[in-house]
Amino acid sequence: MKLYYNTEKEPIKMPEYGRYILEMAEGLKEIEDREKRSAQAAAVVRAMAILCNAAHIQDKENFEHKLWDHLYLMAGPDLDIDSPWPAPEEAQFTTRPVPLPMKDTRIRAAHYGRNIEKIIDLLCEEPEGEVKTSLLRALAIYMRQQYLIWNKDSVADETIFKDIEKLSGGRLSVPEGLTLDKIASDATFARPNLGMNNGFGSKNRDSRKKYKGRKK
């Protein structure tokens, strides 16, 4: 008996629905009766909605429209069925999306981010005075916080001041005697959660520990 692996088959047009949904969509054209074909197409769309967990979708009409478009994408634009929406034009299947414009300049200090650079550019245009000094001090406090998020070691005020002068290209100079508030001993600066679980993993681990405790 020969085993057939998915790697030996043609790539799936829409992997989020899986190969079985694709086969169901492609099999619609084999149904000769148009009424039965349309009813089966609606059943396939309902199966697609279940896979997408449609119960939590707010914009139902727009979501269902997308599902029918996806059905046409898998079965082909020549699918002849009674659909709540007209079949998309064939050009929509081949036209590539317009690429998003990318920034043409690199971020000079990744741990501060591009917005810090924009703020510094605005401060360079601010006239000298107490307002500018106050804004500069507030910026330095925020930059120190960002610095400690990605670098757990302590950081001297002078390091932040030098970074401001460096990022401004020498246009900003920190006034002598400017100091920042001391950081509380119990202060913690956490990185933004970049994982897919959004912090649920730790909660699940805590739940498992509590469950084991009750089981004992």
Instruction: Give pLDDT, residue 200.
Output: 40
> Mean pLDDT over residues 123-133, rounded?
89
Question: What is the model's pTM?
Answer: 0.46
Q: Taking the domains of the chain in order of start, what are their residue ranges?
A: 6-94, 105-192
Residues 98-120: pLDDT tens digits?
Answer: 887 776 677 777 778 788 888 99
Q: Report the distance separating Cα 203 and Cα 180, nearest Å.
A: 36
**27-31, 38-42, 178-182, 210-214: range with lowest mean pLDDT:** 210-214
Q: Closest by alpha carbon to 16, among 53, 41, 60?
A: 53
